[in-house]
Amino acid sequence: MTIKRNSALILVICMVISGIFAFFVPVNIKDAVFASQQEKEKKITSAKSMIVIERDSQRVLYEYNSQEKLPMASTTKIITAIFAIERNENLDKKIVVPKEATKIEGTSIGLIEGEELTIRELLYGLMLRSGNDSAVALALATSGSMENYIKDVNEFLKEKGINNTYIKNPHGLPDDEHYTTASDLAKITAYALKNETFKEIVSTKNIKISNQKKSKISRNLVNKNRMLKELEYADGVKTGYTKKAGRCFVGSATKDNMQVICVLLNCVPMFEECEQLINRAFEEYKLTKILTAGDTLKTINIENSKTQNVQLNVEKDVYFPLKEGEVDKISINIKSEDSIIAPIAAGTPIAEVEISLENQLIFSNKIYTIKEIESNNLISNIIKITDKM
């Protein structure tokens, strides 16, 4: 399709699609994958399950066994964190630590019954120290009870399109009904990293939080994510380990405006492999502009209106991660009628944009009117006059 401009067109309709102008939100067609065959990718990971994606498009760059349901240990806390952030309006609100959030098995920040910490402090305890007690405190503060938390957080995941994950606790301690897939974990991490609070917390290397009742465990928190120190452009996310899940890691890094997320489930050299995969991604893929702000995608005639036609324009630049040589394999198709009949209410879908790479659909979404298009026939004009009278 040839993209042309036409300055004589009367009405500009911009694509009102969440996220399309800055970056893509992918259509759910095999998760928009263009990854190599799994047998090939097996050679680059020792993990039981692995996936590497670009954050905004969620294009799969590499994967191996990414759809298998597996335990994920403390990478569960990525879900706990973004859920708590979104469901608590005031993150600086202090909560009183209940007895149920103390003396939890495994790693903790030493919470003591009756002491007060803010939601934000508990989030740092959750994501830097991997405090299981922080996880329980946040779950109770957000949902009121553990039963409500399990119900609420699983509904939250479904709302976000995370369909192969089930949460039985907020910390990831072993439970046969507690699982995710590498693919799901990458998706929810990509979603979470668009939240500035989450992004700031997981990239923090160390911070000191309250120790009101002088817990014997230091509250000078040091992030367990070793990659933050070893890779200059690393910026997250979370480690995890149980005997059942093995060593698990979700790492992220940003370079040249492209953020890459790597999920490794049951992987002994998790930091080393994550760094290798992320560096490989930056070497092989570049965030490439596909559409430029102001580009005209199509013109549609309007019948029965003073407005003779509408122009479908791109409001902002559109990017997608591509390998060298792939840009020439991108095609853009606008599905619409050649003409439409007024009146047309604001917010009416009038077209659909499809973007493909090598004839495989990578993005699809509807285009909506942003203004009402009035009819200009005799009856509508009489109605307008009557309304004014």
Which of the residues are catalytic?
Answer: 74, 77, 130
Residue 371, class by beta-carbon neighbours within 10 Å (0-12 exposed, 13-18 middle, 19+ buried)?
Answer: middle
* DSSP code of residue 329: G
| DSSP label at residue 194 | T
At 69, the amino acid letter reads K
DSSP string, 273-328: HHHHHHHHHHHH-EEEEEE-TT-EEEEEEEESSS--EEEEE--S-EEEEE-TT-GG
Cα of 138 vs its chain's centroid, Å = 21
Q: Are 388 and 381 in contact (CB under 8 A)?
A: no
Nearest to 226 by CA among 209, 214, 238: 238
Q: Which helix (H) or strand (E) holds 141?
A: helix 132-143
